[in-house]
A and B are shown apart, each in its own frame.
Chain A
């Protein structure tokens, strides 16, 4: 009992950045309604003030994060602080600041407090996923991401398609959470503890030798549940409809945050497979790595092939997001393999690059045109290089990065994944590397077509639309970050490479 209390007191220290965020969330939810009249009218510009407030909270959390230790000794407590935690926290706070800026103009003044609060809660959830050392904490953290996401997607209330898309996401997301929870409970049933360190010890000690079937089932259920989060085939069906329905900012959030939590949870759970005997199984027996590799190749291929013919921009980007889940699964499947480049480090690096480029694309789409004449389809991009040269340039940078060409961070992202899978040396690694290269080539077709539409087709001729400032700032930051990531990739790579199980 004493030990548990000690651990709890100590853990408050460990999660101080998240506590700052959650305290701000409480303040926003409680005081937010007081600024809005009964009829729903709010003073103009309120959303900017709430946006600034949430940026201040993020800055405070960021300061605490930056001065926090990179790694603490791992105990059997609920939390563990290691290099993964430090990396993911930084990623979520920095990209979260970009999202906070992006969301300023996406909701009405009257709902701005709630929107920003939901965003901060989501970011706290991301951080808790990275710090979780216990199945219960992990599940709670994942739900702390999911539930505010539902609210955040629902808040803009822009017509029926938005609501329909949100409801679809809610229902399917709950389904996947249930699957995952079932997987966790089977795992608990097999080993008798929810602590990750405890589970690993129990598996290594052979205490669960009799319940191999339970463990295998739980592994399958966990893979299925997390695959929904990262939008991997065949759990991707929600993505196109939902991305198309929600606002650009909502789609930006959905393309990045669930992927981060999904892959981080994978990284926390995957080392358990080592004790399970699934990492390097006997020939012919089912292997978790092979399962992930199959999911990866399927996601890459299906995502890219279906993206080829899309006209709606956000639907296209949904398929692109599925394909990118496939690329990142390559890193997961290779893991800490025999190669000179670690797949997990490559995946962490790719997450940073991907966050910048995908949010950059959505933000820059969002900043052109008001709700009346937003960019919805490819042809809306025509002539953008003449009407808005700077925005077209930023979009081109992000799209080139999504393709994986220099001079952008996406180039090194794909290069690292390729090197990791190629240097793995196994047949699976080589097949993964080959299909990664092939799919990058396929994806160039539709990304470069967008660039061509912007630069070589003429604008329809009506007057250039106004640019809204907040998303433009967010998009510019992303495009700039993408180029900087090419100029100095080592700064991120060294942090990403530090994490070993």
Chain B
């Protein structure tokens, strides 16, 4: 393939969704209406095909080429210079907008574009009849554009721009039903919490800039000499960078204590929850850390912190998910928990450089499989909502497996994959995470941390299986009950919604089998520059058996509590009311934040408001009145008489003359 064709394909991946977004935004409300789905579908399809070509052809060809002539690894489609302020070696700044693809971005893009294509097809059925149909598809396409640009970024500033871009789209889509106060509040919450992370990220970018004099990945991440030089020059600055990056990643990927926005984000339409808040945007933090691995490798403490944050998040949110009654919230907390799994894996580099690649691989692999099965679960939840008249409280319906067969079977596939049933996709990726954590626990210094984290991960895996199947049994088993909103005969998903579900179900079942058993994923990912190729890839059969047992035990417990002995669950809840409340009320985190952060800030804001009204406004009014007072004298001059204006100009001219002739000095 010629370089031009490669560049065209690379540019088409984000370009097609952008074009769709513009077309729908311009023509949608007036002319396209529900036909807005077509530009969106076509664009996502083009984007997905191009991403698959990139994955299968362009990137592997580049490795061969790079190995032959020792060139740079990664395909770059050059764009243009966006900013060029002064000379780069003189504190100036040059920022280019380029597209850069290598193994890690190709894998991520393949997942992002295929999932978004399937979700866009589903959404056309789900959003049918909604007033803001074109608005939805315009924002949706804009999101896919921003996400692809984020993954294809070639420098940190570009990444940051589109990091904000996906955040903006997320805000727009969470608040899509902006007439509902809950949706508007959730959008605001997501926006504000993400600002905290953005602050960390932008500070990290400043520090990277001042220590490397560049923001390009090629000089910051992939150039060992530059890294050594920068470490010599600015050891303290570089020690801060990973922590700040972690703050950015924590907000975007909803890690404790910044996870509070994600469950509320479920106020958005369900396809949005599936795409943005499960499969793609929230994994941007994982991508950022995996991408910045060389910066993290310098600071083992930061890596341990990554794992600890992931472990705390995974366990905490799994416990919360146990008692939620809203199906989408169960899935939301499970998303946070699974993201915690990925973070756990990303930090194992602290226990030796040889594990860093394995950790990043495990994290990215879980991101990859999770994208498919979690999107599937959300879409099936959307399908349930669709047929239940927008009711999503699991206490109000049950026994849907006969009324909604397609939804039932596809949900079961997704749930089994999430729970880690052997041989399904979630099993392979979760198992890899457990393996790297187990290996890391042999490290002399940090071994104890990782041993603890390993056991937390195992317990969380059991909890995951339990709450996933709790939701499954509560929804699809038991006596057949429908809420009043559903009408008499709830209908299953129409074909436009059913086919994406079926395809995603196949992916949820099989994608791990294809990529996990053969170690294809790991072998592919290792071609990413800055990742060391790993020599030995073996299966740890004992760990596999353990994790299978844990998953099956969780499922069995759920079956026993919610199908066999339906009274047990409420019995447990009433016997340990405090523990139940702790979980059901989300460890009171929202209340704690309210008391510790929101209320004091409100008070400060009130104070500022008073100062504003009584002090600042007074000053501004006075200053504003000053010109009037000053102009009171020459007001006659300003009354519209030309001669007076001419006189003023004459005076100005005399002043200039006087100055130039040195009369004033």
A-side residues, CB < 8 A to B, are 167-168, 171-172, 175-176, 179, 213, 216-217, 219-221, 223-224, 227-228, 233-235, 237-238, 241, 284-286, 288, 291, 302, 305-306, 308-309, 340-341, 415, 419, 423, 487-490, 493
Contact = CB atoms under 8 A, between A and B. Distances in A.
B627 A306 contact: yes
A227 B657 CA distance: 13
Interface of B: 80-87, 90, 92, 623-624, 626-628, 637-638, 640, 642, 644-646, 648-649, 651-653, 655-657, 659-662, 664-665
B92 A224 contact: no
Nearest to A169: B642
B638 A340 contact: no
Contacts of A219: 660
B623 A241 contact: no
A340 B665 contact: no
Q: Which of B648, B659, B665 has the most CB of A within 10 A?
A: B659
B646 A172 contact: yes
A217 B661 contact: yes
B340 to A, nearest CB: 35
Contacts of B642: 167-168, 171-172
Contacts of B645: 168, 172, 237-238
Contact of B657 (A171, A217, A341, A490): A217
A218 to B, nearest CB: 9
A423 B93 CA distance: 14
B652 A235 contact: yes
A305 B623 CA distance: 8
Contacts of B653: 179, 220-221, 224
B86 A286 contact: no
Nearest to A390: B26
Contacts of A167: 642
Given A172-B646, A305-B627, A234 B652 contact: yes
B130 to A, nearest CB: 19
Contacts of B81: 490
A288 B657 CA distance: 11
Contacts of B90: 340
B627 A302 contact: yes
5 contacts: A217-B660, A221-B656, A234-B648, A285-B665, A487-B82
Contact of B82 (A234, A302, A489): A489
Contact of B648 (A237, A284, A309, A415): A237
Nearest to B627: A305
Contacts of B649: 172, 175-176, 224, 228, 234-235, 237
Contacts of B646: 171-172, 175
B26 to A, nearest CB: 9
Q: Which of B85, B638, B644 has the most CB of A within 10 A?
A: B85
A234 B655 contact: yes
Nearest to B29: A389
Contacts of B624: 305, 308-309
Contacts of A284: 665
Contacts of A285: 662, 665
Contacts of A228: 649
Given A237-B638, A241-B640, A340-B90, A220 B648 contact: no
Nearest to A241: B640
- Per CB-CB distance, the 6 closest pairs between chain A and chain B, nearest first, are A234-B652, A340-B86, A220-B660, A237-B645, A220-B656, A220-B657
Given A234-B651, A340-B92, 19 more contacts: A175-B646, A216-B660, A216-B661, A224-B649, A224-B652, A228-B649, A237-B644, A241-B640, A285-B662, A288-B660, A291-B656, A305-B624, A305-B626, A306-B627, A309-B628, A423-B86, A489-B82, A490-B80, A493-B84
Contacts of B664: 286
Nearest to B87: A340
A232 B645 CA distance: 14
A291 B653 CA distance: 12
A199 B653 CA distance: 24
Contacts of B80: 488, 490
A234 to B, nearest CB: 3
A176 B655 CA distance: 15
B85 A341 contact: yes
Contacts of B657: 217, 220-221, 224
Contacts of A179: 653
A414 to B, nearest CB: 13
B192 to A, nearest CB: 20
B318 to A, nearest CB: 41
A291 B626 CA distance: 25
A172 B650 CA distance: 11
A173 B295 CA distance: 63
Q: Which of B92, B644, B646 has the most CB of A within 10 A?
A: B646
Contact of A419 (B85, B637, B651): B85
Contacts of A168: 642, 645
Contacts of A288: 660
Contacts of B84: 490, 493
Q: Which of A168, A228, A489, A490 has the most CB of B within 10 A?
A: A490
A238 B664 CA distance: 27
A286 B660 contact: yes
B86 A490 contact: no
A168 B642 CA distance: 6
A91 B433 CA distance: 60
Given A241-B640, A284-B665, A286-B662, A224 B623 contact: no
A175 B649 CA distance: 9
Contacts of A176: 649
B301 to A, nearest CB: 36
A190 to B, nearest CB: 14
Contacts of B637: 237
A415 B644 CA distance: 37
Nearest to B653: A224
B86 A489 contact: no
Nearest to A232: B652
A423 B91 CA distance: 11
A488 B82 CA distance: 6
Nearest to B643: A171
Contacts of B655: 234
B118 to A, nearest CB: 31
A302 B644 CA distance: 18
A241 B638 CA distance: 9
Contacts of B660: 216-217, 219-220, 286, 288, 291
Contacts of A233: 652
Nearest to B652: A234
A172 B623 CA distance: 30
Contacts of B82: 487-490
A172 B665 CA distance: 30
Contacts of A291: 656, 659-660
A302 B645 CA distance: 16
Contacts of A415: 85
Contacts of A305: 623-624, 626-627
A391 B645 CA distance: 36
B661 A489 contact: no
Q: Which of A237, A241, A302 has the most CB of B within 10 A?
A: A237
B661 A213 contact: yes
Contacts of A490: 80-84
Nearest to A491: B80
B659 to A, nearest CB: 6
Nearest to B79: A488
Contacts of A234: 648-649, 651-652, 655
Contacts of A216: 660-662
A38 to B, nearest CB: 35
Contacts of B85: 340-341, 415, 419
A445 to B, nearest CB: 8
A311 to B, nearest CB: 13
B497 to A, nearest CB: 32
A356 B649 CA distance: 29
Contacts of B665: 284-286
B530 to A, nearest CB: 30
